[in-house]
Amino acid sequence: MSNSIPQRKITVVGAGYVGSTAAQLCAQKSLGNEIVLIDILEGRPQGIALDLNQAAAVEGLGARVVGTNDPRDTANSDVFIVTAGVARKPGMSRSDLLAINAKVIISVAEYVRNHSPEAFVIVVTNPLDSMVHLCRAKLGFPGQRVMGMAGVLDSARFSWFISEATKSSVVDVKAMVLGAHGDSMVPIPQYCTVNGVTLKDLVDRASIDKMADRTRKGGAEIVNLLKTGSAWYAPASASVAMASSILNDQKRLLPCACLLNGQYGFEGIYMGVPAILGKNGVEKIVELPLDNDARILMHKTAGAIEADVQLMRDMKLL
């Protein structure tokens, strides 16, 4: 095993497409020397782990992937990337998933709390904002150690649509999407640039509105194209980018679902906002000046999240 790989343990919960791709990316990026892939389905995580370890012989990777069904094998993990849960089907909203996936999150939170009390937790399971809220409540961890993967993915989708519309390289595009990871998300065109040039100087308002709307429906567009299942490459990349920023103390400013304590005028809810991620987790939430339209949309998206949280209370999940 390469001595250059940090002696760290990363657990990916859920061996579906998102989880298995996240495990692969963690190994390829040498984020830790041990990558644990856990799933309730017997044989699946073990088979994927065996395949990834054999791929390591070709790629020259030193990280070892462990497939398991036993939560005890996740003990003392530094980071958890939680992808487990039922994926959306065509016509299904994220909120429809709440009752099913809440049970998964509660189960995962129990063994994370018991076996890895110092871990950072990145929730990918939908409906994202309510699931990370539930996860943190069941963990009892400080808010800065529990976050949701939302804005990184949504901003990546917005970036690609901007790249297409401006006929520029996506590498040069920087986009920002705030709010809930769902239909009420808030693309922020005023903070979108192509190599420093603001979006409004490159395309007209109608084009921007069209891209923003497509971003809001970005997940559903992929679901409808695939017919079965939902996106996995970009969600996996987004979650691993967050894990990398924490583990390597990169201090990247990334939009993600964070616990708000007065920022943007909201208290006690998880919502997508720009945050600096480093060795302490969410090290700073950045409050951007927003125009009136964006502020109105942020209140709307907060209302959608609060409705899901209240529904969980009604269901005795919180």
Residues 126 and 205 in one domain: no
State which of 114, 133, 148 marks the end of a domain.
148
Residues 209 and 123 in one domain: no
Residues 161 and 287 in one domain: yes
Whether the predicted pLDDT of 2 surpasses 50:
no
**Average pLDDT taken over every residue of the chain:** 94
Residues 231 and 307 in one domain: yes
Q: Is residue 83 part of a domain?
A: yes
Residues 134 and 180 in one domain: no
What pLDDT does residue 96 have?
A: 72
Residues 80 and 186 in one domain: no
What pLDDT does residue 315 have?
A: 87
Q: Is 115 a catalytic site residue?
A: no
Whether the predicted pLDDT of 227 surpasses 90:
no
Q: Is residue 208 part of a domain?
A: yes
Is the backbone of residue 202 left (phi > 0), alpha (psi -120 to 50) or beta?
A: alpha
Mean pLDDT across the stretch 113-137? 96
Q: What are the two backbone dihedrals, phi and then psi, of residue 31, each rounded to the nearest 5 degrees?
A: -75, -20
Residues 100 and 215 in one domain: no
Q: Is residue 3 part of a domain?
A: no
Residues 277 and 182 in one domain: yes
The whole model's pTM is what? Answer: 0.95
**158, containing H or E segment:** helix 151-166
Q: Which residues pair with 272 in a beta bridge?
A: 179, 257
Spatial distance between the Cα atoms of 150 and 153, rounded to a whole number of angstroms: 6
State which of 89, 116, 148 marks the end of a domain.
148
Mean pLDDT across the stretch 271-297? 96
What pLDDT does residue 223 have?
A: 86
What pLDDT does residue 1 have?
A: 41
Percent over 90 (pLDDT), the chain: 88
Mean pLDDT across the stretch 199-214? 96
What pLDDT does residue 265 have?
A: 94
What pLDDT does residue 230 have?
A: 87
Residues 42 and 99 in one domain: yes
Distances (CA, A) of 103 to 26, 32, 111, 245, 313: 26, 29, 13, 29, 14
Spatial distance between the Cα atoms of 177 and 245, rounded to a whole number of angstroms: 19
CATH number at residue 48: 3.40.50.720
CA 199 remoteness from chain centre: 25
Mean pLDDT across the stretch 61-84? 97
pLDDT digits (tens, 9 = 90+) for 73-99: 999 999 999 999 987 666 666 567 788
Range of the domain at 269: 151-314
Q: Is residue 189 part of a domain?
A: yes
Residues 167 and 131 in one domain: no
